[in-house]
A = this chain, B = another copy of it.
Amino acid sequence: MDYYPVSIKNLIRSLARLPGIGQKTAERLAMHILQQPADEAHQLARNIVDLKKKLRLCQRCFALSDDTLCRICNDPARENGLICVVEQPADMASIEKSGAFNGRYHILGGVLSPMDGIGPDDIKIAQLVDRVEKEAIREIIIATGTNVEGESTAAYIAGILEPLPVTVSRIASGVPMGGDLKYVDQVTLKRAMESRHGI
């Protein structure tokens, strides 16, 4: 990379670290940023810094939020007593896009995975139990992925919630097995949400 000046070399190196961006794509993006109007490039840089500075997790549901409570937890129009449990913020975004759910969320921040050393205390399961008790929750819909970790996490949560007076359901098949929730199309997600079943 000696044929590039230092400043462009540094940017190429940073961009090539992003997932799915190889050396050639990083070069192409850097050249594009170079030719962009300065304010557009500065805006991009500022948005990156802002994201790291301003974004935090909602204190109640652990969704990404600009505030103490997220937009959905603050929304009086959303149904109370109904919680959809997902692995990651991106999964919540997928379900919101499908428009099939009008309750609240709970983001686990991961799945149980003994191989990676992730146990029940490493994800927000205790906080979920706490919410079920304090918020008079009527139904929990578990929308973790349908791979091994997602399934076993769902089973584990169902077991934990067994003694409590709450219905636990699982989004229906329709989501292809082994799939990652954030890449599923919205119609499939909507159907899966509608035909949820007891666990």
Taking beta carbons and an 8 Å cutoff, which residues of A are in contact with B?
A: 2-8, 10-11, 13-15, 17-21, 24-25, 27-34, 38, 40-52, 54-55, 64-66, 70-72, 88-90, 92-93, 96-97, 183
A55 touches B34 (CB 8 A): yes
Q: Which residues of B contact A90 (CB under 8 A)?
A: 27-28, 31
Bound-state CA distance A5–B6 (Å) is 35
Which of chain B's residues has its CB closest to A4's CB?
B93
Q: Which residues of B contact A27 (CB under 8 A)?
A: 90, 93
**Per a CB cutoff under 8 Å, which of B2, B15, B54 touches A44?**
B15
Q: Which residues of B contact A20 (CB under 8 A)?
A: 25, 28-29
A29 touches B34 (CB 8 A): no
Shortest Cβ gap from A189 to chain B (Å): 13
Bound-state CA distance A72–B3 (Å) is 8
Bound-state CA distance A42–B49 (Å) is 6
**Per a CB cutoff under 8 Å, which of B21, B33, B71 touches A51?**
B33
B50 touches A7 (CB 8 A): yes
In the assembled complex, 13 residue pairs joining A and B whose CB atoms fall closer than 8 Å, in A order, are A3-B72, A8-B55, A11-B44, A13-B47, A18-B29, A19-B28, A20-B29, A27-B93, A30-B51, A33-B48, A33-B52, A34-B55, A41-B52
A14 touches B44 (CB 8 A): yes
Q: Which residues of B contact A8 (CB under 8 A)?
A: 51, 55, 64
Q: Which residues of B contact A30 (CB under 8 A)?
A: 51
Bound-state CA distance A5–B32 (Å) is 27
